[in-house]
Structure 1
Amino acid sequence: MDEKERLSALEVALNNEMKEREFYLKNADRTNNPLGKAMFRRIAEDEVEHYERLKQLHVKWKEKDKWPETVPLIVNQTNIRDLLVNTLKNIDKSAQTDAGDLEAIKTAADFEEKGVKFYKDLAASSTDMREKDFFTLLSMIEYEHFMSLRDAEEYFENPAAWFYKVEHSMVDGG
């Protein structure tokens, strides 16, 4: 991948992060389920952070026409399972979900899975280690979102089974 293709891929990534953020905010507003609201808002915040990091990179890259010497390799980590558990401690567990909630989670998981592949491919085509590390980090974060959304999908499909799994994650062998 040449420099022009990389810059174009970065522009695609910027666009994707904003589209995903809009999707998450729209669904946070749409759902009546407090858990769905919290989860969608949290991931929307993460997408803004990703966008800001990518934007910094884009500006520096365009200025110098090459991968910048310094790009922050730190982003906030989000564990949606922890968010699920903490939110569920403080809400009415009988809060209703609707088909739209589950469909939104499945669509979001799809976005994140595509993001994993996109950033992995960018990392694989990179020759600069800083560039490779940056895109690998973004791929790992998108993967965390993907796995967290799958976890949320399990909750929305079968809350009782999800609670059992979370509360009994350690099996007593005695």
Structure 2
Amino acid sequence: MKALYTDETVTIYQAYPDRIADPALDAGTFVSPFLPVRMTWIKPSFLWMMYRSGWATKKDQERVLAVKIRRDDFVWALSQACPSSFDRRVFKDHQEWRSALASRPVRIQWDPDRDLHLRPTDSRAVQVGLAAEASQLYVRNWIRKIRDVTPLAREVRSLVREGDLLAARTRLPAERIFPLDPHLASRIGSTVAGP
């Protein structure tokens, strides 16, 4: 798993329509009409977010926000997570997995990460789903800063369309392998534990 991070923060991405993005940018956190009682998915891979949102062109995903959260809170979310699908490396059987799925406030889903053409790569990107309890913590306590990176999405997309991949690559956030405790990495089905 790669992310843009410092010793104190991790940057994750979400895509929303104007009616949610604008109030969030004004308030510095998510406010109405955002509903923290619903599952909230956060994504540390910029290019995976571009794939998911179609470079910020899909309906209700026209604005891409970079949300800087506390690193400790991100690690807490991972520590409370259950993979969204059964993984025999993590659970002894389906019953144990279903029990964890029902009781834990966070979901983890692994997908192929994406390249500049939004094609799948050999590395995996993580999506972190925050159920009501975790989503409310996210909105109330974790967020340090929200930026609108929709212009960046459009700029990178234009460079890719022009065939200037070198320039496009230099505009990308400087994501690197996020270091995880080996036990935690195993619990969430990550294949890379260290830096």
TM-score by length of 1: 0.25
Q: Which has the higher helix share?
A: 1
Greater relative contact order structure (CA < 8 Å, 6+ sep): 2
Indicate the structure (1 or 2) with the bigger Cα radius of gyration. 1
Between Structure 1 and Structure 2, the one with more strand by share is 2
TM-score of the superposed pair, with normalisation by structure 2: 0.23
